[in-house]
Structure 1
Amino acid sequence: MTTTTSTSTTIAAPSEEVWRLLTDTDWWNRADNGVVDVAGTIREGQQVKLVSELDPKRGFKLKVAEVDQPRSMTWTGGMPLGLCTGRRTFRIEPDGPARCSFTMAEDFTGPLAPLIIRSLPDFQGSFDQFAAALKTDSEA
């Protein structure tokens, strides 16, 4: 597995508040988080369509593959036959009653993953923007 991008931040808010925002499509669509639009329901087994500021003309269909509320969530998407699969993980680790750490990472696997990774834009700024928005809004 190749991690292409990750970001982490410490948030001075309960993990439950961070989780509430992370699973709220209304928050995704109104926050200054690098996302243009998220449509669908952020629940295990459901599909969402994400449009990023990095490529606002293209939407990505993703499956909410795994949820361990309020600690972690994994979204997956990619090409047929496992030629390239993206796996985005969100992790929230409590650090007391009103503090937690948040990490988001994107990994790609499959025979075409090295080629696909080279063709993708740099996600780092977008990931950092997302984490900063989640921190700001969770702490508000």
Structure 2
Amino acid sequence: MPSSYRVHRVVDADPQTVWDLLTDAPAYPSWNPAVVSLGGRIAVGEKIAMVSAVAPGRTFTLTVDRMDEPREMVWSGGMPLGLYRGVRTFTLVPLDGGRTDFTMAEVFGGPLAPLMNRVVPDMTVSFERFGDAVVAAARA
């Protein structure tokens, strides 16, 4: 399995509109088929609980590490002591015409990464669905 994933889309909405979508945790399941549920408050230092469509029987506890509204947000989670860790970064860049260059990337690392990356489900399709959902929901 890859040790990183990335999706990129141009969204026909301004960065603030996309930001508002990405920071409304309870609304995720209503617009994003890649997310079954997202509980908690998306704010720096807060813990959020995500259930993804890739692994619907598992809840991932993530920490919101950084928010630079409306440009960048970083979530991370994984095993204690940094043995295996994923860091997801959302990047929003304003484009002409009120559009947004949206990128979501996740990188996995740590001493157990070579082993864990073999058993973690492939998230390529999930990332593509997430990107497509951002485009559709921001347009609505």
Q: TM-score range by the shorter chain?
A: over 0.9
Q: Which residue matches 1:101? A: 101
Range with greater deviation from structure 2 (15-24 or 107-116): 107-116
Gaps of 5+ in 1: none
Q: After TM superposition, list the pairs within 5 Å mapping 1:66-77 onto structure 2.
A: 66-77=66-77
Distance 1:43 1:18 in 2: 16
Distance 1:42 1:10 in 2: 23
Distance 1:64 1:32 in 2: 19
Task: Indicate if the aligned counterparts of 2:71 and 2:91 stay in contact, CA closer than 8 A.
Answer: yes
Q: Which residue matches 2:79? A: 79
TM-score normalised per structure 1:
0.95
Q: How many angstroms does 1:114 deviate by?
A: 1.4
Q: Which runs of 4+ in 1 moved over 3 A?
A: none
Q: How many angstroms does 1:85 deviate by?
A: 1.1
Over aligned residues, Cα RMSD in angstroms?
1.2
Identity across aligned pairs (percent)? Answer: 41
Q: Deviations over 1:60-86 (max 9, x none)?
A: 000001111100100011111111111
Q: How many angstroms does 1:3 deviate by?
A: 4.6
Q: Which residue matches 1:57? A: 57
Q: Which residue matches 1:30? A: 30
TM-score normalised per structure 2:
0.95
Range with greater deviation from structure 2 (31-40 or 60-69): 31-40
Q: How many angstroms does 1:109 deviate by?
A: 1.5
Gaps of 5+ in 2: none
Q: Which residue matches 1:133? A: 133
